Amino acid sequence: MEIGLNHYLVLSTILFSIGLVGVMRRKNLLLLFFATEILLNSVNIAFAAISHYYGDLTGQMFAFFVIAIAASEVAVGLGLLIVWHKRHNNIDLDSMSTMKG
Amino acid sequence: MLDHILSILIFFPALAAVLGFMIDKNSIRAYGVSVAAIEFVLSLFLWFSFDSSISGMQFMEQIPLIPSFGINYILGVDGISLFIVILAAFFTMIGIASLTDTKNVKNMIITLLFLQMTMAGVFVALDAIVFYIFWELSLVPMLYIIGAWGGPLRIYASVKFFLYTFAGSLVMLVGMLFMAYFYYQATGQWSFAILDWYRLILPETFQLWLFVAFFIGFAIKVPMFPFHTWLPYAHGQAPTIGSVILAAILLKMGTYAFIRFSLPLFPDASVYFMFPIAIISIIMIVYTAMIAYAQEDVKQVVAYSSVSHMGVIILGTFALNVEGITGSIFLMIAHGVVSGALFLLVGVIYERRHTKMMSEFGGLAHVMPRYATIFGLMLMASVGMPLTINFVGEFLSLLGFYQQSHILTLLAGIAIVVGAIYMLAAYKKMFFGELTNEKNKNLPDVSKRELVALIPLSILTIVLGIYPTPILKPINNSVESIVQLMHDKSITEEAKTRIPNLAASKGIEITRTSMKEAH
Amino acid sequence: MELYLYIALFSPLVGSMFAALYGAKPRTKIAGVVPSALLITSLIASTILLAHILSTGEIVHVEMMTWMATGNLYIPFGFIVDQVSVTMMMVVTLVSSVVHVYAIGYMDHDKGFNRFFSWLSAFVFSMLILVMSDNFAGLFIGWEGVGLCSWGLIGFWYHKESATWAANEAFIMNRIADLGMLIGIFLVYWNTGTLQYEGAFAAMQNLDTEILTWMGIFLFIGAMGKSAQFPLHTWLADAMEGPTPVSALIHAATMVTAGVYLVVRSNELYALIPDVGVFIASLGAFVAMFAASMALVNRDIKRVIAYSTLSQLGYMFVAAGLGAYWVALFHLMAHAFFKALLFLGAGNVMHAMDSELDPFKMGGLGKTMKASMVMMTLASVALAGIFPLAGFFSKDIIIEAAFVEHHFIIYTVLLLTAGLTAFYSFRIIALIFHGEERYKLFGFHPHEAYKFMLVAMSPLLILAVIAGSLKMTYFEMVTAVLPATEYHLHSVTTYWIMTIGTQIFVILAILYAYKKYANSSIKVPDGTSKMEKSFVYKLLINQYYIPYSYEQYLIRPYRELSTIFWKQIDMKIVDASVDGIAGIIYGTGEKTRAMQSGNLSTMLKWMVLGLVILLSLAVVFGLAARHFDEIKVILSGLGV
Amino acid sequence: MLEPINISLESLNLMTLSPMLIPVIGALLIIIIDIIKGGLDKTLYVALSLLFLFMDFNALLASATTFAEDGTIMGVFDMMLIDGIAILGQLIIVGASMLFIPLALTHKRFHEFSYPEFFALFLFMLAGFQFMVATDSLILIFVGLETASLALYTLIAMHNRDKSFEAAVKYFTMGALAAGFYSFGSMVFYALTGSVEINQIASVLAANGYADMGYVLVATAFMLGALGFKVSLVPFHTWAPDVYEGASASMAGFMSIVPKIAVFVVAMRIFEFLIHSGVVWLEIVLYIVVVVTMTMANIWALVQTDVKRMLAYSSISHAGFVMAAILIGTTQSNSALFLYWVLFSFTNLGAFSMLWISRQKHLPDHQRSDHSYDKFAGMIKTAPVGAVIMGLFMLSLAGLPPFALFWGKLYIISSAVTGGYTILALIMALNSAIAGYYYFKLIVYMFMKEPVIGTDGHMYVSNATLALKSIIGFAAVGTIFAIIVLDPVLEFITAFVYNSGY
């Protein structure tokens, strides 16, 4: 059968939801970052598909920017993660709740 | 000088207060007294240069603040506001003069001078926003006075006082914005100038809503039942000077605002709400008088008594005829003098015994005859004895409202009975009987400094009771113009009938001062 | 003449202020002498005015200055001296001069000497304002002023609980009545447009009766308070706590008669509403009887005299109510003289007995205090209305008037009361001055009062005796402003029968009193005798339980209600609700702050949750938008 | 054989880039200087950044004048969009930053300021925000947003205390999620319209009459989530209090102003057209969100024990207050938004700076947190001037006339009245009343309580230098005398907002 735009969109939505669930469920900071990557990349798929569908490049441009930003995010995120690990020897979300109320 | 006398009246104390920061602690009192005295003289000068034959605004000033949004710094004074301004200056003066040794007196005096600025501002502002500015600012010094020099519950009392009033006036602010918006719709330009608003005739439904919005702000300030509960706390905790200013001037802001805003802006709504408000004021009169009778703390008696008197003032205001409104304005001044004096007197005994419980006293007349005499005089004034200042106001207020409703006036008249009951009871508990309590055996009588404050008040009480004309006349003229304005503006039939048409009966032509004529 | 008017009016004020200067200082004679002198000046001035009016018959009317003027209201300080007010001025100044001089001796040893004279002169001033004012507002000033002074004088000995209580009671009861009066004044203003007597009465002529009736009723309520008519009468007996000169001046001669004066002054109003007049008359008759009955058994000289005052006021109201205004005024005058005399006599007795008031503990004082005995006896004779003393002329006309007006019930009541009056007056005379010298048991050493006190009393004595002879001249004068109603019975015989009958009846009453109380068998009652056990006696001695029931059913509930209002309603409901709102807001914060758990994944969950909510809203709304028409159909099916 | 692309340089209109390029250049310069010679004093970098900010500001003024003359300017393949609100936004961003940078000149030494990277990152961040507001392409907005945010996370972390790391991580993670929302949202818009430029999206949607409303709403929902996170609308606000507490007071003050105004401008661009083209859903949802944000944030602020955290919640509530302006969406309300934010920036920066100068390195044992209320007890006795100024800022925040923020509140509420949102106006008014409580709580502590034993006035100015004091003085003067300059400012703003069609 013919794979149409909708399939891609559905796929991206599913991936996005997976990402959301991951964001909510993960207690490990690293895996949490993975989840956010999934979020962004799911969107990329959709962008690519749509721009192909419309036949203009804006979507792909957007996708590229998203990739770039995702990369820099990872850079910053991992930096923070490492510092945290140095100080506390863990990367557990529940350990970081000194501020509340 | 005359062109800007009002601005001077407002900002001279503020400037003096700022300079006060660098005055030495020991000489600050002299500084404060002299500043207040100058202010008072200025206000008197205002009175002498005031033309009491003109019913409109005088000494008007106008400086654009935010012209694009119709906010201008407009001042002016008429018979209604003139005397309250003078009263404010007067009380600041004698308040500072009679200030007994309080801890860090410097802050106190500076605060009082700031308070004086706001009080002057409220009563001469003719632009709603400027009015609102001073209205709100006046809360801050009082908050500080209660909170810093007050009794054990002072913080609760001060915060309650502040938030309660603050909340109310924010609702009022929304009302003002609506008013301005309606004016904008009518004329195509923004204006918060009260005299412009006077020209605006609103449909009745709008009037009702706006009236309510303003009412909430004013009623909490007055305070009217059932919004009155902040007052006993405030008075109970405040230092003497705080209570004096609060009772004498700050409460008058509410009643004054009723006459300045509610009546002329919403004549039909005023008529519509006349009877509900009358009933509220009757509740205030009787109910709080009974509560006052039940008190054990003499200061609370006076506090509740002023709520009761406020009821009479409101009643007179909503008589919506010249007699009533004039009476209520006069009663504002009268109540200012008398309740101020009473709080000072309570302060005198508190100074000596550091308690306000009447059970602690009894038979004071033996040891403090002068004190007993002055207290008795003020007591008689407060129960409305003829030839004292209060009687004129109460008589006119009740007389005025009698035209609107016989039975309600009869109920309100109970004031003169219940008032006598709690006041005489309190006086009996404090001054009569044998001198039982050892601590009271050798209390000194009133001192010179206390007399400085009390003597002028006593004289005022008598003189204005016998010869109120110099004050009544200017008030009367301005009130007549307002009543006429209300009659002309009113749209409903009932309002037309309820509000007398003076132009017909006495041929009074209202002279409405407009911006242009101001310069 | 204006000058004399001002002198008459203001010299008491000056006197009062002069005495006030010494208020806080130890007592000095001068503080008593000067006011007395000034009062005598005032008396002279009044006399001149009287002479002027008698001779020329023209009225002195001055307007001193404006008091209140606003809107249409215009109230001046205006004073008028006409035939009516000059009578009152004479009475007031005369009696008060006497009392002042008397009091110099009476209050001799009191440390409040100066204060006393300050108050007393102030009272006279207010009373003069009351009677001389030419408008209702001015009347009201005096009205409240005398109330104030009586408060100060009843509670003069402020260390006595009973005195201060009585003072407050008197003030508050009068206040209740004054409210009625105030309403009356409002009615007058809004219906006639003025408060000046002339203008108001002129305008009343063409008002409809209902309004006039209300005016009459409300004004009379005011009168009831001052003149202590039922049910506002209890304060008068308690007011006897004050020094005796005060009782003589205020609570016998002047202030209490202000109510009568008010009715007389507004005769033109009451003339228009005879029904109210009848009511006034009936109430007066009732009070006359009622008070006399209480006087029968009381064991306190001053209270007995007070009740007799009350009953005489009843007489006056009967006269006024029946339209015999000049009679009322005449009786007022005569009564002032002999009642003041009676009181001052009682004062002497008290002085002699160190303020002992129970006549049963006296007896036989006649030996030591001849002068006082003579005076009091004559005064009582006058009070009883025996020919040819004042009471006969003033009181009997009232009774006749009732008869002539065909109010026979009133007539009978008054007749009986006359008997009672005679009885109780001579009961105390007998108990005090005759019979055994019981006071010896209690170790009293009575002595006659100072000479000058007795001299001071003498004018009253004379007047009490001869006042009757002035009747015709007085009639001539006063009827210039009051309706001249002559009361002559149709047949001379009935007239003589009635008069003589009355006289005999009264004299019998007197003799009975003597027989019962002047003999030597009188003991100090100890509550054992049969009479004292009888219900009637209990009823009377407890003043028909009226003070008790006031205490029980008015004062106590008021006190309790006030406490409830304060503690329960104001604190627990009104204030609590305010704090409640604040509490709710704050509490919400405390409860919901847990939402900020500080745990990262919770925060993330919140974000996602927020998104989900938004999305679901979006979906719902989107569907709604798409299927708008179907939804509308369904809704209309549901009848929305 | 490919066509050679030829585009005239004029058509690119590169001048539009200049305001953003200046800080970038500045940042690079700072880094280069550091490479050449390290370990230079922070004062140098502060001075440099200030210099570049001034240039930036001038460039903005220049473009402001050009806008005033010949309206909106497009540039760089119509990526850049220099219209009124863009200029206003940038002016606020740069102005606030100029007030913020000198706060680095503290008396005590702090870790972050010893790195030149701090200042470089700061300038990069600014550039990011400026790009964000000066475009209507979703892509560029996204890029700008993320550039700025990533820099911001780092700056927070550089404060180098446990709490600041925690704050940074939290902020970062949630930021990543928000980024996801944003990209998904713009994806849906793209799918619907085939364009990522807001005005084209608008026109396309208008053209087909919002045929598939459902998807528009989905996209809007995602956008609202993303932007709501940035301006901390409930329930996307949860980061705010923790991050404010974790970050240094000065940084917190900065965060409460600059990032939010940038996002407000974007929100204005995206939401206004939706609201005006009758997406009732958005109106309802915004209404709810705004009210909840105002009220709940206030209520939570009531129960705080730490002043900084209280201010955090209060600025959430202020954000809700301002979001109402976007909901109302009249010219008056939009200009009210900018006016409010200008005045707010003065006051709030002042308040946070007061906290900043009282910052201790080590907590005394009676004190629970850095800026707990009881730290300020009886301040009037120990440090009167400081107390008065702090009180002044609190009064202004509470909206007491005639201080700065009152006029903002006045104008916004008035716009609500004019826009027919009566109930909203009342709710706003009452919220100000509730807010009064917690601001006055601090005043009560400062003026009415007795000082804690052993605290002397020095504690409150321990961190102060002339620079900081003058900044605070500036803020105070601005707060008191705002009324004087209000009229020209208001007219300026209104003109710009109106001419850019909002």
pLDDT tens digit sequence for C623-639: 887 777 777 777 776 65
A26, closest residue in chain C (CA to CA): C601
Position B506 confidence tier, pLDDT thresholds 50, 70, 90: low
In a domain, B258, yes or no: no
Interface test with A, best of C604, C607, C619 (most A CBs within 10 A): C604
Averaged pLDDT score across all residues of chain D: 90
pLDDT at B505: 66
Could you give the C-alpha distances from C573 to B288, B333, D173, in angstroms and in order? 14, 32, 50
In a domain, B406, yes or no: yes
| Domain count across chain D | 1
Residue D91's domain comprises 14-360+367-499
- The verdict on a CB contact (< 8 Å) between C621 and D217 is yes
| Domain count across chain A | 1
Report how far residue C432's alpha carbon sits from residue C522's, in angstroms, rounded to the nearest whole number: 11
- Closest CB to D157: pick one of A59, A73, A80: A80
- The verdict on a CB contact (< 8 Å) between D410 and B64 is no
pLDDT at C640: 52
- The verdict on a CB contact (< 8 Å) between A50 and D191 is yes
Contacts of B82 (CB under 8 A, 6+ apart): B46, B47, B50, B474
Largest separation between any pair of C-alpha atoms in chain C: 121
Residue A33's domain comprises 7-92
Res C444 pLDDT > 90: no
In chain C, positions 587-606, which contact chain A (CB-CB < 8 Å)? Answer: 593, 596-601, 604-605
Token pair listed for D50: 């200030």
- The verdict on a CB contact (< 8 Å) between D448 and B155 is yes
pLDDT at B281: 94
Q: What is the pLDDT of residues C85-102, one digit of tens each?
A: 998 999 999 999 999 999
In a domain, B73, yes or no: no
How many other β-carbons are positioned within 10 Å of the β-carbon of residue B407? 7
CATH number at residue A23: 1.10.287.3510
pLDDT at D1: 58
C572, closest residue in chain B (CA to CA): B229
Report how far residue C195's alpha carbon sits from residue C135's, in angstroms, rounded to the nearest whole number: 5
Q: What is the pLDDT of residues C250-281, one digit of tens each?
A: 888 889 999 999 999 999 999 999 999 999 99
Three-state secondary structure along C478-543? HCCCCCCCCCCCCCHHHHHHHHHHHHHHHHHHHHHHHHHHCCCCCCCCCCCCHHHHCHHHHHHHCH
Q: What is the pLDDT of residues C138-166, one digit of tens each?
A: 999 999 999 999 999 999 999 888 999 99
Angle at Cα B50 formed by Cα B49 and Cα B53, nearest 5°?
130
pLDDT at B518: 37
Size of interface A-D (CB pairs under 8 A): 113
Q: What is the pLDDT of residues D51-84, one digit of tens each?
A: 999 999 999 999 999 998 888 888 878 888 899 9
Q: What is the mean pLDDT of residues B155-164?
A: 93
Chain C residues touching B417 at Cβ < 8 A:
172, 175-176, 179
Chain B residues touching C559 at Cβ < 8 A:
293-294
pLDDT at C215: 92
pLDDT at B102: 73
Position A38 confidence tier, pLDDT thresholds 50, 70, 90: very high
pLDDT at C638: 65
Res B516 pLDDT > 50: no
In a domain, A100, yes or no: no
pLDDT at B512: 47
Structure letter (DSSP) for residue C365: G
Chain C residues touching A101 at Cβ < 8 A:
593, 596, 598
pLDDT at D309: 92
In a domain, A70, yes or no: yes
Chain A residues touching C600 at Cβ < 8 A:
93, 96-97
Averaged pLDDT score across all residues of chain B: 91
Min distance B177 CA to chain D CA atoms (Å) = 6
Res B513 pLDDT > 70: no
C592 CB near a chain D CB, below 8 Å? yes
What are the residues facing D73 on neighbouring strands?
D82
The answer to whether the bond into B267 is cis (omega within 30° of 0) is no
Q: What is the pLDDT of residues B378-433, one digit of tens each?
A: 999 999 999 999 999 999 999 999 999 999 999 999 989 999 999 999 999 999 98
In a domain, B370, yes or no: yes
Q: What is the mean pLDDT of residues B498-514?
A: 65
pLDDT at D302: 92
pLDDT at C484: 80
pLDDT at C489: 63
pLDDT at C637: 66
A100 CB near a chain C CB, below 8 Å? yes
- The verdict on a CB contact (< 8 Å) between A94 and C598 is no
A83, closest residue in chain D (CA to CA): D165
In a domain, B445, yes or no: yes
ipTM surpasses 0.85 = yes
What H or E segment, with its residue span, contains residue C580? helix C576-592
Res D95 pLDDT > 60: yes
Interface test with C, best of B361, B387, B445 (most C CBs within 10 A): B387
In a domain, A1, yes or no: no
C562 CB near a chain B CB, below 8 Å? yes
C70 CB near a chain B CB, below 8 Å? yes
Least confident of B312-321, C419-428, D1-10, D430-439: D1-10
Averaged pLDDT score across all residues of chain C: 88
Beta strands in D51-144 (DSSP E): 73-75, 80-82
Res C307 pLDDT > 60: yes
Question: C74 φ, ψ to 5°?
Answer: -140, 115
User: Based on C-alpha coordinates, what's the Rg of chain B?
Assistant: 22
pLDDT at B519: 36
Could you give the C-alpha distances from C346 to C245, C311, C419, D92, in angstroms and in order? 10, 18, 22, 96
pLDDT at B517: 39
Q: What is the mean pLDDT of residues B36-41?
A: 95
Min distance D140 CA to chain A CA atoms (Å) = 9
In a domain, B37, yes or no: no
Res C529 pLDDT > 50: yes
Terminus-to-terminus CA distance in chain D, angstroms?
A: 47
Place of tokens 């009302």: B175
Terminus-to-terminus CA distance in chain C, angstroms?
A: 90
- The verdict on a CB contact (< 8 Å) between A94 and C605 is no
Q: What is the pLDDT of residues B137-158, one digit of tens each?
A: 999 999 999 999 988 899 999 9
Position D380 confidence tier, pLDDT thresholds 50, 70, 90: confident
Q: What is the pLDDT of residues D275-318, one digit of tens each?
A: 988 788 899 999 999 999 999 999 999 999 999 999 999 999 99
Could you give the C-alpha distances from A86 to A82, C160, D239, in angstroms and in order? 6, 89, 23
A95, closest residue in chain C (CA to CA): C599
Size of interface A-C (CB pairs under 8 A): 29
In a domain, D163, yes or no: yes
In a domain, B141, yes or no: no
pLDDT at B1: 60
- Closest CB to D173: pick one of C588, C604, C608: C604
Min distance C610 CA to chain A CA atoms (Å) = 12
Interface test with D, best of C607, C608, C620, C628 (most D CBs within 10 A): C607
- Do A and B touch, 3+ Cβ pairs within 8 Å? The answer is no
More confident residue, B463 or C399: B463
Whether B403 contacts B319, CB under 8 Å: yes
Share of chain B above pLDDT 70, in %: 97
| Domain count across chain B | 1
In a domain, B337, yes or no: yes
What are the residues facing D197 on neighbouring strands?
D137
Residue B396's domain comprises 273-466
Report how far residue B328's alpha carbon sits from residue B465's, in angstroms, rounded to the nearest whole number: 15
Contacts of A69 (CB under 8 A, 6+ apart): A40, D142, D143, D146, D179
Position D8 confidence tier, pLDDT thresholds 50, 70, 90: confident
Q: What is the mean pLDDT of residues B155-165?
A: 93
**The amino acid at A48:** A
What are the residues facing C80 on neighbouring strands?
C61
pLDDT at C639: 57
Share of chain C above pLDDT 70, in %: 99
Res B507 pLDDT > 60: no
pLDDT at C497: 84
pLDDT at B514: 41
- The verdict on a CB contact (< 8 Å) between D214 and C625 is yes
Size of interface C-D (CB pairs under 8 A): 92
- The verdict on a CB contact (< 8 Å) between A29 and D169 is yes
> The whole model's pTM is what?
0.93
